[in-house]
Structure 1
């Protein structure tokens, strides 16, 4: 909600506008749109995720801003602060990357995969046992 209010205030003020290009790893090409130079990095990420979803691009990313970071390959490998103005960086090409998962999240995901796999294996065994072929001589 705060980002939305700030967007409206900046649009009214005017100022310089920038054409930004955001590349998503694994996607076909960059997303390009115009932003005001005083707009926050978080608002630009939000706009990029919405545009990405609206265009139906793959891979599917989701819309949670906390799962992503915006980096500039030209300015350095560090992620940009979400509360920084996009124009303060001095570049227009960015890369949107998923944050690395925490160890606990990876372990939980692995446990769920094992449970699903074990559930499938007993079902496969049951179906196989029902379809026993009795051979006659």
Structure 2
């Protein structure tokens, strides 16, 4: 994996849109992995009128109800980013990207391809009996993603 790839992991809804406000930084981010609340904040900053698409989306709905609105709301982020990985709590996660599901992901923003097609792929989460703490779950998940991507 190229060490210059920027993966933005918003750690808080209040910080989610912060790098989008800095001139030039948005085009440097290749990947981002917001949760639903963080995605809403990012969309609200970039294109507030799109927020209406996902304003009422919540994690008590089914993936069938939320997948299309979430994919549509990612369009302004995909103008420069390669891939949006939305974490959805007990539902799992969803990857939204330009291109088909079989197209190779570009490894850097400067390799960005402007595909017409936007695809979303849903990955369900395994059910658990009891959650003790979610602290570090995102770090663990994306660390594993990067490790397997590079090996």
- Greater share of helix: 1
On whether the aligned pair clears a TM of 0.5, the verdict is no
User: Shorter-chain TM-score category?
Assistant: 0.3 to 0.5
**Considering only CA atoms, is the larger Rg found in Structure 1 or Structure 2?**
1
